[in-house]
Amino acid sequence: MGYQISRRGLLAGTIGAVATMAATRGVRAEGGQIVVADWGGDWNDRAVQFLEAPYVEKAGYTVVRDLDGFDQRRTKIIASRRLPRAPMDVAHMDDATAFELNALDALDKIDETAVPRLKDVIPLLRTPTFVPWQYSAWIIGYNPSKLKDGPKSFGDLWDPKYKGIIGLSNEHWFHHMECAALKIGKSLDNMDAEAVKASMMEWKKAASPRIYPNHLQIEQALKNEEILIAPEYKARILQFASDGVNVVSSYPAEGGITIIFGLVMPKKGPNPDGGKFYCNALLDPDGLAALVQKSFYSPANTKSVLPEAAAKQIAFTPNEQKALHNRPHAFWLKNRSDLLDWWNKEFKS
Amino acid sequence: MENSQGSISLNARRRVTKRGRRAVPYKLTAPAFVFVTLLLVIPLLMMLRLSLYRYDPVQMYVQALTFENYVRFFRDEFYQQVLWTTLWISAVTTMLCLVGGLAVAYYVARTRSAVMQRYLILAIVLPLFMGNVARTAGWIIILDNKGLLNFLLQKFDLASGAVRLLYTSGAVITGLTSVLLPFMIVTLNSVMHNIDISLEEASLNLGASGLTTFRRIVLPLLMPGIFAGCVLCFILSMNAYATPILIGGPKFYMMAPTIYSQMSATMNWPFGAALAFILISLTMVLTVVSAVIFNRSARAGVVR
């Protein structure tokens, strides 16, 4: 007596199986899987070691890591706006990109009811869709052995006496233009694109800065003494020094340019509750204090207490803090495409 | 009566069978057709449509039907220069692959030991198991200012200081040639393998030199392989991304990295899509034109 499967039976069975799989998947997503996108490399290693492993994975969540470049992450979020599900729950971002994504209505709002530790975060760094995590400022690094008289302001970098020994990171082209704006007007509030272009061309003519792809090559060039000066994040200058590069930081007279790294949650993420849990966990004061002693960024959580020596090394003095400039996000949202085109076509040519 | 009915039904069955046989190729190719349509043609059409949208700095793009992105390319010398660089780098790389590949493919095909031949093919194909990025990263170590080549140049007093080798067009050509050479060798080898060795022996017996035999006998018979290998290397080179990015440096522009930059850094998707279409169209046109020239030459007897 053979058992025969009817066509209807097969169809019903298949639908049932698919529905069960879909339902199980939904339950699993809400239960404990969090998709997190970050840069990878040492950034990811530190996040895993000091915060994700002890505070997220230990709490029963599985962190699925989408490690990729910054641009890819932003593009994925923008491209998935029309899809039923975002490709990630949380993305590590900088404040400028978070502003841009928010303008495109691609981010969920995050408040203190969902992420209680937000109440301890420096208020100036917060926005409704951005959880600040670590911050630093764009300043100047130079080789103290070769340059007894290092640059003291962004304006000094235009001095022909530094011709051929300044290195610029191509990836941070926008910061170089902000330096030019500070040289011209001492402020980033009313950046004038045309004045910035003219000043950049003067810089090119006077000091012929060398251009390298990103931080890593800048570090290598400083190490090789191919260059002796590099505008960089203070945190990166400290990282380079801890790697054995002969470099010290110089806080520019015009004031540094703030950079804030933090977390955003794209709309329609597969596990929003998990995403909020992750954001709260990454603000753990002790974990963050341990992490920033390796990354050399300042912690955004005011409850993170650093040993005195580390705090002195990483933090900015009250005067330096007062002189910090916030980045002109609205200006960049409007002008980024044109100015990047100009950077590639005119300045780099 | 019965007979006539029987023959009618037999004829009808034959017709059905014949029709069924004719349908077989369509049925067999249907999955591939659906696959290509869904995953290639439809996305390409969507991208074509995107290239006709208008860029907006805040919204990224607004729906429109404009050729302004294409006009921008043809008005802007910078992007034409990028295309020109891509073309000449691809042409030089293809030529170097051909020159380098010919001798190796000939040697492998004429190796008498089958075991040795298998090992040689494996050695040629082995680099393809690694990603382009890993192979290109090796060149960074060699070409860097503090790299192996600069060390050797200074050690043997061929240079007084560091010679800039990385971040030059020469570095990109070197990197691309090393990445694409296995493709050329494998393509040439498969054709070379089928060329009867007795033809070469006959030529040599009749008094032709080795070079003349290669030029008059081997080369004409190898032309289909040369054509296929060149097209393959040229197309791959035109679309190269990792190599120009890694060893070309921030001041070196080829089409694929420029398209990527427009799509993800500038976020100008319409212009990026237009650049992609220009690259696809030019590559297709050049491939088709070279195929036509090759076929005409073959028919005229220039290529036998």
At B101-113, the pLDDT tens digits run 999 999 999 998 9
Chain A residues with CB-CB distance to B253 below 8 A: 344
Nearest by CB: A340 against B58, B249, B265: B265
Nearest by CB: B249 against A71, A213, A337: A213
Structure confidence at residue B296 (pLDDT): 87
In this prediction, residue B98 has a pLDDT band, given cuts at 50, 70 and 90, of very high
List the single residue in B with minimal CA-CA distance to A172.
Answer: B265
Q: What is the pLDDT of residues B11-50, one digit of tens each?
A: 777 776 777 778 888 889 999 989 888 888 999 999 999 9
Chain B residues with CB-CB distance to A345 below 8 A: 78
In this prediction, residue B178 has a pLDDT band, given cuts at 50, 70 and 90, of very high
* Domains in chain A with CATH codes: 2-129+265-316 (3.40.190.10), 137-258+333-347 (3.40.190.10)
Q: What is the pLDDT of residues A303-313, one digit of tens each?
A: 999 999 999 99
Tally the C-alpha atoms within 13 A of residue B95's C-alpha that lie toward its C-beta.
7
* CB proximity B137 to A under 8 Å: no
pLDDT at position A17 over 70: no
**Which of A12-26, A56-70, B125-139 is the most confident on average?**
A56-70
Structure confidence at residue B229 (pLDDT): 96
In this prediction, residue A32 has a pLDDT band, given cuts at 50, 70 and 90, of confident
What distance in Å separates residue A333's CA from the closest CA in chain B?
A: 6
> Taking the alpha carbons of A91, A260, A108, B266 in that order, is the dihedral positive or negative?
negative
In this prediction, residue A124 has a pLDDT band, given cuts at 50, 70 and 90, of confident
Cβ <8 Å between A337 and B266: yes
A301-322 mean pLDDT: 92
Structure confidence at residue B147 (pLDDT): 86
Cβ <8 Å between B251 and A211: yes
Cβ <8 Å between A344 and B264: no
In contact, A170 and A221? CB cutoff 8 Å? no
Please give the share of chain B, as a percent, with pLDDT higher than 90. Answer: 65
Euclidean distance between CA atoms B27 and B25, whole angstroms: 5
On the 0-12 / 13-18 / 19+ scale of CB atoms within 10 A, A324 is middle
Cβ <8 Å between A104 and B60: yes
In this prediction, residue A24 has a pLDDT band, given cuts at 50, 70 and 90, of very low
Cβ <8 Å between B58 and A104: yes
B66-82 mean pLDDT: 95
Cβ <8 Å between B57 and A344: no
Cβ <8 Å between B145 and A224: yes
Structure confidence at residue B302 (pLDDT): 54
Q: What is the pLDDT of residues A70-121, one digit of tens each?
A: 888 988 998 888 889 999 999 999 999 999 999 989 999 999 999 999 999 9
Amino acid at position A285, single letter: P
Structure confidence at residue A9 (pLDDT): 60
Cβ <8 Å between A335 and B266: no
Q: What is the pLDDT of residues A143-184, one digit of tens each?
A: 999 998 899 999 999 999 999 999 999 989 999 999 999 999
Euclidean distance between CA atoms A36 and A56, whole angstroms: 12
Helix pair B219-238, B77-109: axis angle to 10 deg: 140
Chain A residues with CB-CB distance to B78 below 8 A: 344-345, 349
* Domains in chain B with CATH codes: 62-297 (1.10.3720.10)
Q: What is the pLDDT of residues B205-237, one digit of tens each?
A: 999 999 999 999 999 999 999 999 999 999 999
Nearest by CB: A348 against B60, B251, B268: B251
Structure confidence at residue B265 (pLDDT): 84
pLDDT at position B280 over 80: yes
Cβ <8 Å between B267 and A341: no
User: A35: which strand partners?
Assistant: A64
In this prediction, residue A16 has a pLDDT band, given cuts at 50, 70 and 90, of low
Chain B residues with CB-CB distance to A336 below 8 A: 57, 266-267
List the single residue in A with minimal CA-CA distance to B80.
Answer: A345
A47 C-beta neighbours (distance < 10 Å), count? 23
Chain A residues with CB-CB distance to B151 below 8 A: none
In this prediction, residue A20 has a pLDDT band, given cuts at 50, 70 and 90, of very low
Q: What is the pLDDT of residues B164-177, one digit of tens each?
A: 898 899 999 999 99
What distance in Å separates residue A167's CA from the closest CA in chain B?
A: 12
Chain A residues with CB-CB distance to B57 below 8 A: 333-337
Structure confidence at residue A349 (pLDDT): 83
What distance in Å separates residue B245's CA from the closest CA in chain A?
A: 9
Q: What is the pLDDT of residues A181-217, one digit of tens each?
A: 999 998 999 999 999 999 999 999 999 999 998 888 8
Return the residue matching tokens 């955004």: A300
